[in-house]
Structure 1
């Protein structure tokens, strides 16, 4: 009986490990800083992009290539970027562990966004 219980426990552990690894495989690795610059928003990519800096003042979609059209997009991650004053909302379409992020971005604030979420802090 103890043998069967241990075997079932081992099978469950293996199943959850395989499931967790499969979910991580769907999450792309990236890190992007977001800050305001007058009426525009500036993005600086530190990891997972083919671009270094983006600047825009309209709502858009962002992926590894930069600002993009979501139709037919096959990049590992894709999210929409909308801003209303200091309020920023990101909605994931692919490749993140989050579905939606919202945060306030003041003049002296910077946000770091990655595949797992967002961290806001004062600019140095």
Structure 2
């Protein structure tokens, strides 16, 4: 529930910057319908309000589920000591030819992982 609340709060931000969500240009309307498919509702149980996430029948919410899982995974890694600022600082400088905002290719650096973990990650792609 906390992840969904954080995602919906970030979706409400209208200006770029800290806390705003960014999306690739190729996302279509169906993606955003899935991302915003659920609504927070309140029901009363024995006189006490309980909030819950409600999805209308027939609506798909896979995009929201993926965002929630990714958000939870990120926070799991952060709690284990992942420091994103250090990882960004360790990236090689961006060549001048790739500094254009019109270049959709991401700048990536390989993750350092043991060979066993790399094999596990590769084999899990085929499950």
Please classify the TM superposition score into its range, dividing by the shorter chain length: under 0.3
Q: Which has the higher contact order (CA 8 A, sep 6+)?
A: 1
TM-score (norm 2): 0.20
* Structure with greater proportional strand content: 1
TM-score (norm 1): 0.21
